[in-house]
Amino acid sequence: MSSVTGRVEVAGVEVSPDHFIGGERVASQSRFEDVSPIDAGVIAEVSRGGEREADQAVQAANEAFPGWAALGPAGRAGYIHRLADLIDENVERLAAVENADMAMLLRSLRARVISRGAKNFRSYADLATAYEERDWHSLGTWNRVQRMPAGPAAVITPWNAPFMLSTWKTAPALAAGCTVVLKPAEWSPLSCSILAELAAEAGFPPGVFNVLQGYGEEVGASLVSHPLLKRVSFTGSPEAGRQIGVAAARNLVPFTAEMGGKGPLIVFEDADLDAAARKAAGQYDDSGQVCLAGTRLIVQESVADEFLEKFHRYLDEQVLGDPREDSTTISPLIHPEHLQRVEGFVERARAEGHRIVRGGRRSEAGPLFYEPTLIEPTSNDAEIVQSEVFGPVLTFQTFSEEEEAVALANSTEYGLSGVLYTTSLGRADRVGRQVRAGIVWVNTFLVRDLTAPFGGMDISGIGREGGDYALDFYSELKTLQILEGSVG
């Protein structure tokens, strides 16, 4: 391991493929290949960290913690706002690297996704500063709830929205006074490397914001089992979430997890069918690699044909292509292994006799494209209905009565999100309450108020992020109780 490292050029931007620990670049001798989904070519040889790097990063975060905590919310907010400003100034660089690394549409990255990162930081810095400690008198005592920074926190993020999710998760940790060790996913590690440098440029003291690169089962596993950590926050699959939760439990460390989804998109006969069909068909844009997507279309029988006709029409307008082009609306899948995984789901569905209504094969648009696919299952128990594909594959089912729609919606192990289309307020409230999910959108999708709780039920999550819910997680809530009249 050396501390002097090279940089690589990705999409015209210089970026370091190494760790960022204690304010310095640290390289591992062992490397892994980072593949761009745009052409399946290797764009960087990234440091492949292990136990030693994980320990080094947590030690650095632990040393930096007392100073960062002592700044208080307002002191930290100055640094965090500077970081947010730097993100806004670097939208083009960040968007270019994220696009090359993950293939999210360049125009979406430029227009909103990167700047959402800046919003995440501003929003949490302001919220932490505005926190009012609760005071009250009872039982002859004066009581106050204090929010104390918890300590060094591990933050683990997935590959599908690397920059946005890393900012969404590290912002509350930093604002609450925790120091952070961020481990981005191995399939899209580069935008977080730039984020670390922007944090340094914003003046963050060394060790407050660290980034580790490498595989989940290697550096990730060493990180989350480190005894000096005080919090572990994870976004990714339920499979990895279980393992990380066990590691956190061994050290009795609080743990939150945002995990997979298999959301229903329910269309009632009273709905604006055009809007519903447009949203449903628009869900293929990141090749369906969106945890919150309503991947199970559940449509009332009386309007099923009309809905499908509109759905196909909107899907016909979609363009699979180079995610750097403005005309492209659907990007490629992240990695050859993931393409095979998606293909495996569809092939098994075909073999089981479910009807492939549309797509169901690789596309010639590029090496990692799969055609937008719609499958009508013969049974609700089918794997294609019950398991998250995380690709451009939706299922189509019908119902006659409201209760049937709710039963179908709640029939999987997941509970992350749901989407309803109806013009009835009564139905929106009634069905919205019954759908087991951390968020239910009615006649809209993906609108996010950053102060609202965010998370999943069942295998989709443990705990809540968003607003004060996240700030509480990264804090120790302490009660100070003073005998009245005993101090002056």
Catalytic residues: 258, 291
Element (H, E) at 166: helix 162-176
Q: Which is nearer to ligand NAD, 147 or 464 (CB)?
A: 464
Residue 102 interacts with ligand NAD (CB under 6 A): yes or no: no
Rounded to a whole number of angstroms, the minimum distance from the CB of residue 73 to ligand NAD is 25
Residues in the chain: 488
Q: Which is nearer to ligand NAD, 46 or 194 (CB)?
A: 46
Contact string 291-330 vs ligand NAD (x = CB under 6 A): x---------------------------------------
Q: Which of 79, 77, 118, 122 has the alpha carbon at shortest distance from 451?
A: 122
**CA–CA dist 282, 471 (Å, integer):** 33
**CA–CA dist 355, 377 (Å, integer):** 6
**CA–CA dist 361, 347 (Å, integer):** 9
Q: Which is nearer to ligand NAD, 188 or 475 (CB)?
A: 188
Q: Which of 190, 186, 135, 440 has the alpha carbon at shortest distance from 294?
A: 440
Residue 98 interacts with ligand NAD (CB under 6 A): yes or no: no
Near ligand NAD by CB under 6 A: residue from 100, 164, 174, 244: 244
Cβ neighbours around 402 below 10 Å, total: 16
Q: Which is nearer to ligand NAD, 236 or 377 (CB)?
A: 236
Residue 172 interacts with ligand NAD (CB under 6 A): yes or no: no
Q: What single string gives the DSSP state of each residue in 221-232? A: HHHHT-TT-SEE
Per the structure block, which two tokens stand in for 202? 């914003």
Residue 263 interacts with ligand NAD (CB under 6 A): yes or no: no
Per the structure block, which two tokens stand in for 113? 């996704």
Residue 162 interacts with ligand NAD (CB under 6 A): yes or no: no
Rounded to a whole number of angstroms, the minimum distance from the CB of residue 213 to ligand NAD is 10
Q: Which is nearer to ligand NAD, 149 or 216 (CB)?
A: 216
Residue 220 interacts with ligand NAD (CB under 6 A): yes or no: yes
**CA–CA dist 362, 128 (Å, integer):** 47
Stretch of 7-15, 98-106, 212-220, 477-485 contacting ligand NAD, by CB under 6 A: 212-220
The pairing of strands 264-267 and 209-211 is: unpaired
Distances 407 to 31, 304, 388, 402, 414 between C-alpha atoms, Å:
48, 18, 18, 9, 13
Phi-psi region at 207: left, alpha or beta (left = phi > 0; alpha = psi -120 to 50): left
Near ligand NAD by CB under 6 A: residue from 49, 50, 152, 216: 216
Rounded to a whole number of angstroms, the minimum distance from the CB of residue 425 to ligand NAD is 28
Near ligand NAD by CB under 6 A: residue from 28, 108, 115, 235: 235
> Which amino acid does the sequence have at 336?
P
Residue 337 interacts with ligand NAD (CB under 6 A): yes or no: no
Near ligand NAD by CB under 6 A: residue from 240, 248, 308, 315: 240
Torsion of CA 237, 98, 336, 355, to 10 degrees: 70
Q: Which is nearer to ligand NAD, 261 or 359 (CB)?
A: 261
Q: Which of 420, 398, 403 has the alpha carbon at shortest distance from 305?
A: 398
Q: Which is nearer to ligand NAD, 237 or 251 (CB)?
A: 237
Contact string 403-442 vs ligand NAD (x = CB under 6 A): -------------x--------------------------
Near ligand NAD by CB under 6 A: residue from 268, 370, 390, 445: 390
- Contact between 418 and 440 under an 8 Å Cβ cutoff? The reply is yes
List the helix and strand counts (H, then E) for the chain. Answer: 16, 22
Cα atoms in the 13 Å half-sphere on the side-chain side of 38: 21
Rounded to a whole number of angstroms, the minimum distance from the CB of residue 170 to ligand NAD is 13
Residue 388 interacts with ligand NAD (CB under 6 A): yes or no: yes
Provide the binding-site residues for ligand NAD, judged by CB under 6 A.
156-160, 165, 183, 185-186, 215-217, 220-221, 224, 235-237, 240, 243-244, 258-261, 291, 388, 390, 416, 456, 461
